[in-house]
């Protein structure tokens, strides 16, 4: 069953935003002081543009991560963040940038090089020029400065609860990073909700994943891989978990809401291949030096069994030593039941009739990029797309509005490594009244 959305996304109507505007009366952006319908309409259009502009900055962050950790364009060793100044002095940073610029001249089939080439061109830089190397170096320097600022900010944050991540990325580029870990958190949360009787067998028919991301190359070296094409996991992971837990039946409809043209185009291309009966391959590398809980290892070993089957994994080059690998090919019918839509969850929603509202919405590692006012707006937009009693699962604490439709009903804490209490995630369940 494929959802049909007619006109697609609409901006949040003023009447729906009013309770949030009232709650944030003293902390509103300048243009929204003493708000009215016209000011709201003008602000949402301008804010939508500025949110979408943050995607470009996020792509430049991916470029910086690619310079440090990529192995598909160079034979030089990868650079760990704590060995960076040494690598700079020894000329290793420059050598990797030189190799990257040579790769950009002849990207061949390397999707990441093509992505970076187009990114530079959009900034008016000729990827084959000497200027390209300078631009990449300054992008890396800016990214490293930002990493320092973010870790200081995270160290100073005083979380009010286990779910609270204090919007630490509120002014950062919007990244597309994704991995298996948030999918495991959602899997365990769904199991918890089933065990508590909050979700029942076969109850979930309509699902949305907001911001599934694209694994281009991660910002953490231990999970930064580029030996397989960029991939998305979350829509298929959620589908897989729902079937395995018996919460949904095959044929459920899954909407993918995102603002990134990279993510939406990627899914559209997967759907075009699926129409020709070609499945979607997902590579699942696991660095064995990272301790995983038995639960997480078990999740990794059976990932995808309900949406496809195991296939031979791509062989990692020698530079990625100590990797355990698995790969899964998702069935074309599953790919075709995942339909993307361009929706900015902070400012927009799908105008769904009651019969088409979602039972479940998943949104991990997205609200941390927004300030509390934007989070409060996003929570109301998610609520408008849920049926009464429907759930939004997210790993951020979102501000509830007294007259709003969404309430936090609980939280599930998920451990990634039983020996390390810090290796965990918390997923809040927000329920529509
Ligand atoms: C860091 S990735 C998270 C990916 C995945 N959910 C995970 O947890 O691994 C953030 C994703 O949210 C999307 N995103 C960011 N802001 C958004 C917004 N306002 N509306 C919809 N999608 C957004 C990005 O394009 C990207 O796909």
Tell me the DSSP string of 43-68. HHHHHHHHHHHHHHHHHHHHHHHHHH
Task: Say what the pLDDT of residue 221 is.
Answer: 87
CB 200 within 8 A of CB 194: yes
| pLDDT tens-digit profile, the chain (433 residues) | 334 444 589 999 999 999 999 999 999 999 999 999 999 999 999 999 999 999 999 999 999 999 999 999 999 999 999 899 999 999 999 999 999 999 999 999 999 999 999 999 999 999 989 899 999 999 999 999 999 999 898 888 888 888 988 888 988 999 999 999 999 999 999 999 999 999 999 999 999 999 999 999 999 888 899 999 999 999 999 999 999 999 999 989 999 999 999 999 999 999 999 999 999 999 999 998 888 999 999 999 999 999 999 999 999 998 888 899 999 999 999 999 999 999 999 999 999 999 999 999 999 999 999 999 999 999 999 999 999 999 999 999 999 999 999 999 999 999 999 899 999 999 999 999 9
CA of 366 to the centre of ligand 1 (A): 5
User: Ligand 1 pocket, 279 CB below 6 A?
Assistant: no
User: Average per-residue pLDDT in the chain?
Assistant: 94
Question: How far does residue 130's CA lie from ligand 1's centre (Å)?
Answer: 33
> With a 6 A CB cut-off, is 426 part of the ligand 1 pocket?
no
CB 217 within 8 A of CB 225: yes
SS3 content of the chain, % helix, strand, coil (to 5): 45, 20, 35
Give me the residue label for tokens 């050598």. 95
User: Atom 11, ligand 1: which residue's CA is nearest?
Assistant: 211
Q: What would the DSSP string read from start to end of 182-220? A: HHHHHHHHHHHHHHTTSS-TT-EEEEEEE----BS--SS
pTM of the predicted model as reported, rounded to 2 decimal places: 0.96
- DSSP state letters, 72-113: SS--SPP--GGGHHHHHHHTHHHHHHHHHHHHHHS-TT-HHH
Distance 147 CA to ligand 1 centre (A): 19
Of the candidates 48, 95, 90, 91, the one whose C-alpha atom is nearest the C-alpha of residue 67 is: 95
Cα(216) to ligand 1 centroid in Å equals 13
Q: What would the pLDDT profile of 231-282 be if each residue is shown by its tens digit?
A: 999 999 999 999 999 999 998 999 999 999 999 999 999 999 999 999 999 9
Any ligand 1 atom below 6 A from CB of 208: no
Distance in Å, CA 210 to ligand 1 centroid = 7
How do 348-350 and 9-11 pair as beta strands?
antiparallel
Q: How many CA atoms lie within 13 A of 24 on its CB side?
A: 22
CATH number for 180-432: choose from 3.30.70.120, 1.25.40.20, 3.40.50.150, 3.90.1310.10. Answer: 3.40.50.150
The 10 Å Cβ neighbour count of residue 6 is 9
Whose alpha carbon is nearest atom 24 of ligand 1? Answer: 211
Protein residue with its CA nearest to atom 12 in ligand 1? 211
Tokens of residue 430, six digits: 């927000």
| Alpha carbon 250 to chain centroid, angstroms | 24
Task: Name, in order, each residue with C-beta under 8 angstroms of 75's C-beta and a sequence gap of 6 or more.
Answer: 99
Q: Is the CB of 212 under 6 A from ligand 1?
A: yes
283 lines ligand 1 (CB under 6 A): no
Nearest atom in ligand 1 to 51's CA: 19
What residues pair up with 360 in beta bridges, in sequence order?
A: 207, 391
| Contact criterion met (CB below 8 Å) for 175 and 190 | no
406 CB within 6 A, ligand 1: no
Residue 427's H or E segment, with its range, is strand 424-432
Q: Is 231's C-beta closer than 6 angstroms to any atom of ligand 1?
A: no
Taking the centre of ligand 1 as the mean of its atom positions, its distance from the CA of residue 237, in whole angstroms, is 16
Q: What DSSP line would sit under 348-403, residue for residue? A: EEE---GGG-EEEEEE-SSGGGS-HHHHHHHHHHHHHTEEEEEEEEESS-----TT
Query: How many angstroms is it from 102 CA to the middle of ligand 1?
Result: 31
Tell me which residue of 42, 45, 40 sits closest to 9, measured CA to CA.
Answer: 45
Mutual angle of helices 180-195 and 294-302, in 10-degree steps: 100
Q: What are phi and psi of 48, to 5 degrees?
A: -60, -45
- Residue 394 Cβ inside 6 Å of ligand 1? The answer reads no
Distance 368 CA to ligand 1 centre (A): 10
Q: Tell whether ligand 1 has an atom less than 6 A from the beta carbon of residue 396.
A: no
**Structural domain boundaries of the chain?**
72-156, 180-432
Distance 284 CA to ligand 1 centre (A): 20
Residue-wise pLDDT for 35-58, tens only, equals: 999 999 999 999 999 999 999 999
Q: Which of 179, 211, 377 best tests ligand 1's pocket when mutated (most atoms within 8 Å of CB)?
A: 211
Tokens at 4, concatenated: 């049909």
User: Could you tell me which of 45, 137, 67 has the C-alpha nearest to residue 348?
Assistant: 45
Helices 130-156 and 92-105, packing angle to 10 deg:
120
Atom of ligand 1 nearest to the CA of 209: 6
Strands 248-258 and 204-210: parallel
365 lines ligand 1 (CB under 6 A): yes
| Whole-angstrom distance, CA of residue 153 vs CA of residue 147 | 10
Q: 76 C-alpha vs ligand 1 centroid, how far in Å?
A: 32
């Amino acid at each position: 069953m494929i959802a049909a959305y007619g006109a697609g996304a609409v901006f949040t109507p003023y009447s729906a935003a009013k309770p949030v505007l009232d709650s944030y009366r003293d902390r509103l952006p300048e243009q929204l002081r003493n708000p009215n319908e016209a000011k709201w309409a003008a602000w949402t259009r301008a804010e939508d543009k500025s949110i979408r502009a943050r995607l470009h900055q996020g792509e430049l962050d991916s470029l910086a991560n690619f310079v440090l950790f990529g192995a598909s364009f160079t034979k030089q060793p990868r650079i760990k963040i704590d060995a960076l100044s040494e690598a700079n002095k020894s000329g290793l940073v420059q050598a990797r940038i030189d190799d990257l610029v040579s790769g950009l001249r002849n990207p061949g089939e390397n999707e990441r090089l093509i992505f970076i080439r187009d990114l530079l061109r959009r900034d008016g830089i000729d990827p084959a020029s000497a200027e390209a190397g300078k631009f990449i170096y300054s992008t890396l320097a800016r990214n490293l400065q930002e990493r320092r600022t973010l870790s200081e900010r995270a160290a100073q944050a005083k979380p009010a609860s286990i779910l609270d991540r204090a919007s630490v990325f509120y002014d950062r580029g919007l990244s597309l990073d994704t991995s298996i870990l948030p999918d495991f958190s959602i899997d365990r949360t769904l199991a918890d909700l089933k065990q508590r009787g909050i979700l029942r067998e076969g109850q979930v028919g309509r699902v949305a994943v907001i911001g599934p991301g694209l694994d281009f190359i991660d910002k953490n070296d231990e999970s930064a891989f580029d030996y397989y094409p960029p991939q998305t996991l979350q829509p298929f992971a959620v589908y897989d978990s729902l079937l395995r837990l018996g919460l949904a039946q095959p044929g459920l409809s899954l909407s993918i809401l995102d603002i990134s043209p990279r993510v939406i185009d990627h899914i559209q291309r997967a759907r075009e291949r699926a129409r020709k009966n070609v499945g979607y391959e997902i590579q699942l590398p696991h660095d064995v030096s990272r301790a995983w809980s038995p639960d997480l290892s078990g999740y990794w070993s059976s990932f995808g069994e309900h949406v496809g089957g195991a296939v031979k994994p791509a062989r990692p080059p020698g530079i990625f030593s100590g990797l355990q690998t698995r790969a899964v090919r998702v069935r074309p019918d599953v790919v075709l039941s995942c339909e993307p839509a361009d929706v900015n969850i902070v400012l927009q929603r799908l105008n769904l009739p009651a019969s088409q509202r979602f039972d479940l919405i998943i949104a991990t590692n997205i609200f941390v990029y927004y300030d509390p006012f934007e989070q409060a707006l996003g929570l109301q937009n998610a609520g408008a797309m849920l049926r009464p009693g429907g759930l939004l699962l997210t790993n951020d604490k979102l501000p509830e509005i007294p007259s709003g439709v969404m309430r936090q009903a609980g939280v599930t804490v998920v451990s990634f490594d039983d020996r390390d209490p810090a290796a965990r995630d918390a997923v809040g369940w927000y329920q529509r009244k």
